Amino acid sequence: MTTLRTRPARSLQNPWLSRINKQFPDIVPPIIATAIFLVIWQLFSLTPGATLPGPVQVVRDTWILIFWPFFDLGGTNKGLFWQILASLQRVAISYVLAAIFGIGLGILIGTSKVMSKALDPLFQLLRTVPPLAWVPISLAALRQNEPAALFVIFITAIWPILINTAVGVKQIPQDYNNVAKVLQLTRKEYFFNILIPAALPYIFTGLRIAIGLAWLAIIAAEIVMSGIVGIGFFIWEAYQNNNVSEVILALVYIGVVGLLLDKIMAWIETLIVPQGQKS
């Protein structure tokens, strides 16, 4: 009986936190960790000779940007919302193109041994080229910032999609193929009933990796290609103007958006990938 009496007494000490912890057990630990991180950061920035501002300084410097994300003063002088939206639009266009070409080529390579042998070395070579290395050549080829940025994102995002799709198609269990052969399924029936469902988990793995890489590439592309609206150029401009706090704020935004993109893809995956195929 004593234990029963002490328990409610303990939870009464902090009823709000305990209820939160009970409802969202995944939230409290990261919040605490983040708080500790911020404190340590603040402490470091207070040391003599610190070059970067602490979190308090950052918020103090950038509160206008934080609270007014939607202002638009023309040119590249826009709120962070517009900056991010511009970047996201580029990502969306290139990513969709990368997905279409990547899945298409992946299926082609996965199903055809000849194509696989022919193209695999080329793709393995190209996929290791870092996004930044594509910038000069795409600028040289396309002559304009906007299409060049799109191309850089596209070329970065396509490889994981393509390679994962190809692996997924190649790894369709022989049993399923045997079933298809014995039943003499037509190409169309095979494609929709066996190939796509069997390869979907792999395709989505590729898509998730690709969205991260695409977001990564946009920053690189925009930093180099000056004079366009976008979060990448925003960072570069802030740096040029010695606004380190703005750079840090932008980094936080980039991180949050990247995280959200990944979560969205994961959520779409749960919607599309059929039952029994989730790894």
Residues that bind another protein (CB under 8 A): 173, 175-176, 178-179, 181-186, 189, 193-194, 197-198, 274-277
- Residue 39: what are its φ and ψ, rounded to 5°? -65, -45
- Residue 214 CB, nearest approach to another protein (Å): 28
- Residue 72 CB, nearest approach to another protein (Å): 47
With respect to another protein, which residue has the nearer C-beta, 172 or 229? 172
With respect to another protein, which residue has the nearer C-beta, 205 or 245? 205
User: What are the Cα distances from residue 177, in Å, to 84, 127, 184, 195?
Assistant: 45, 30, 10, 9
With respect to another protein, which residue has the nearer C-beta, 150 or 198? 198
* Cα–Cα distance for residue pair 107/167, rounded to 1 Å: 9
- Residue 200 CB, nearest approach to another protein (Å): 8
Supply the DSSP symbol for 274.
P
b/e code 165-179 from CB counts within 10 Å (16+ = b): bbbbbeebeeeeeee
- Residue 267 CB, nearest approach to another protein (Å): 19
- Residue 52: what are its φ and ψ, rounded to 5°? -105, 145
- Residue 160 CB, nearest approach to another protein (Å): 23
3-state secondary structure 162-200: HHHHHHHHHCCCHHHHHHHHHCCCCHHHHHHHHHHHHHH
With respect to another protein, which residue has the nearer C-beta, 3 or 275? 275
With respect to another protein, which residue has the nearer C-beta, 47 or 270? 270
